[in-house]
Amino acid sequence: MEQTLEEIKRQGKPALKFGLRGFDSGSELSNEIFGNSVFQDWLHSTYHLNLFLDSLDEGLLSLSVLSDILSRKLKNFPCKRLNLRLTCRTADWRGTLEENLRQIWSKDDVEVYELAPLRRVDVEEAAGKNHLHSEAFLREIQAREAVPLAIQPLTLKFLLGIYREDKQFTSTRRELYYKGCRNFCDENNLYRREAGKKGKLDIDKRMMIAGRIAAVIIFANRVAIWTGPGKAPSKNYIAIQELCGIETLDEREFSVTETAIEEVLKITSLFFSYGDGHNSFCFTHQTYAEFLAAWYLAQHPMTLAQRMSLLQHPADPDRKLVPQLHEVAAWLASLVPDALREIVETDPDVILHSDIATADQENCAVLVESLLRLHNEEKLLYESRSWLYQRLKDKNLVPQIQPYTTDISKSEDARYVAIDRIIANEKLARTNQLQSSRLSR
């Protein structure tokens, strides 16, 4: 998106970009975007405008509310002169929004693209640019079954950094992110280190403070940290003074002061300037905040009920997770065994995104059983997840799912899940296990 935006600007074409993460009301969104002077000038002219809207899935407003606001507003504008680009995580993209956009423009004028995985040649090139032996790097990826991480730009960056340091990989995604964030907490700029500007805190304290910031940002539903004078300009910010306090590390307390927080914000690679570029900071990527928030919870002596109260909707009798916190919950499940067992009971689909690929056989079996049961009880909506099921390595697959493929009294969705699970297991799919199954029509 950034490259496209810069190219458009170089060509002298009018363009606007907004991050949807920071808006907490429809009126604020409308005023900031559609009340913008550049947008208003375009509205009363005849030229084309390029509008970039980033982070649809990370907004303080729910996806349904954001989608509704955008749909209602856009249909009132001369959209034949508007080139709109939206970014969103694939899993959170709304079909209703896509349909509304096709009605506002036309079916042929709206296209949806998914970021393609990196190719082998891309990974080799990245390794070479990082002064690594590309073949040795690829062999280590394959030996550690880390290909799913290597084909994504974000996690490839982690892999390159860790491999450059250790010449090997840790075994789980959790450990990869942990090492990656610790690396970010170091001062990697040689010139700053030589000039004595590497800060006063060690990496462990920076990591704990970063986790503290992440937990507040995520669970208090904030966007950025305000470091300027006076009160924060809006409730989207958390004032730096509110982050101060006492932390414990290795059974020793240390003070989290404004100076310490500013060091973490300005020296580590976890944050970048936000808004006016002087007095506010936010995480460079939402994934870092989500991992660190879960990691922070795991570092403190809390009961399971206390941890889950931050993730579950208080008014839901089924104790379902808050959708915006699914990624945090997946991380917590990989860090705290009790949380894994709790989340499997209510939201097993969330666990599919955690480190379940390297979990023990018992956890895999419990996960599959919960998926089948909740689909059979119509508490989960069916989605084809064969690509995720491939990560499960349970050996006792047939006796577990056979009742769902042969018993027509089971719900259709539950039986589809069973079929998907068989298809994902290549060895089993090559047999005739499905011949006896009959889906009701």
- Is 45's pLDDT higher than 90? yes
Q: Write down the pLDDT at residue 191.
A: 43
Q: Say what the pTM is.
A: 0.65
Q: Write down the pLDDT at residue 212.
A: 98
Q: Is the model more confident about 397 or about 374?
A: 374
Q: Write down the pLDDT at residue 177.
A: 84
Tens of pLDDT, residues 285-337: 888 899 999 999 999 999 999 999 999 988 888 888 998 999 999 999 989 98
* Percent of the chain residues past pLDDT 70, beyond the cut: 85
Q: Write down the pLDDT at residue 3.
A: 81
Q: Write down the pLDDT at residue 358.
A: 53
195 — pLDDT class (breaks 50, 70, 90): very low
Q: Write down the pLDDT at residue 221.
A: 92
**Distance set, CA 420 to CA 379, 401, 402, 405, 434 (Å):** 18, 11, 12, 11, 11
How far apart, in whole angstroms, are the C-alpha atoms of residue 36 and residue 51? 12
Q: Write down the pLDDT at residue 437.
A: 46
Kindly state the average pLDDT of the residues 427-441: 47
Q: Write down the pLDDT at residue 361.
A: 67
Q: Write down the pLDDT at residue 6.
A: 87
Kindly state the average pLDDT of the residues 212-233: 92
- Is 411's pLDDT higher than 60? yes
Q: Write down the pLDDT at residue 90.
A: 60
pLDDT, averaged across the chain? 84
Q: What is the dihedral of CA 269, 274, 277, 280, to 10 degrees?
A: -90
Find the range with the poorest average confidence among 75-84, 289-298, 321-330, 375-384.
375-384
Tens of pLDDT, residues 252-282: 999 999 999 999 998 888 888 776 556 888 9
- Is 420's pLDDT higher than 90? no
- Is 440's pLDDT higher than 50? no
- Residues 50, 55, 57, 59, CA torsion sign: negative
441 — pLDDT class (breaks 50, 70, 90): very low
- Is 189's pLDDT higher than 60? no
* Percent of the chain residues past pLDDT 90, beyond the cut: 40
Q: Write down the pLDDT at residue 432.
A: 42
Find the range with the poorest average confidence among 93-102, 178-187, 398-407, 418-427.
418-427
Q: Write down the pLDDT at residue 372.
A: 86
Which of 23, 18, 14 lies closest to 1 in space, CA to CA?
A: 18
Tens of pLDDT, residues 341-356: 899 888 888 888 776 6
- The count of C-alpha atoms lying within 13 angstroms of the C-alpha of 348, restricted to the half-sphere facing its C-beta, is 25
Tens of pLDDT, residues 118-170: 899 999 999 999 999 999 999 888 766 567 668 777 678 878 988 887 777 76
- Is 439's pLDDT higher than 80? no
Q: Write down the pLDDT at residue 435.
A: 44
- Residues 347, 349, 350, 356, CA torsion sign: positive
**Distance set, CA 187 to CA 242, 287, 440 (Å):** 25, 21, 61
In sequence order, the 6+-apart residues with CB closer than 8 A to the CB of 255 are 244, 245, 246
